[in-house]
Amino acid sequence: MSAARRAWIVALWLLALAAAALQIARSPLSTDLSAFLPRSVEPQQRVLVEQIEDGAPARTLLVAIEGGSAAQRAAASRALAAALRASGRFAQVGNGERAGYA
């Protein structure tokens, strides 16, 4: 393969890479789960969509802890939950415990 041909291949590859980067940069990104639901006019469905957009599901964050033994993961989970509760930045921190729930 000649040097000129390799240069063309590299140039085409870089052009394709730039086009892909431009497309990704211009693509809208939404983390709103209600975007996957149908737009409805029925009042019951509208309430459900509003709850998903603004209710507890919209403010829920799930975290997974991996690695180590089961005991180490449980200890890390309890320590993380305690630190999040102590920060005062969260209205509720659930860690599988039943205490504190009405």
Distance of CA 48 to the CA centre of its chain: 21
Whether this prediction's pTM lies above 0.75 is answered by no
Using CA atoms, how far apart are residues 92 and 81, in angstroms rounded to an integer?
Answer: 10
Q: Which residues contact 92 (CB under 8 A, 6 or more apart)?
A: 100
Question: For 61-79, what is each residue's pLDDT tens digit?
Answer: 888 999 999 999 999 999 9
Question: For 1-39, what is each residue's pLDDT tens digit?
Answer: 899 999 999 999 999 999 999 999 999 887 776 677 777
Give which of 50, 66, 67 is closest to 58, Cα–Cα: 50
Q: Is 100 helix (H, G, I), strand (E, B) or coil?
A: coil
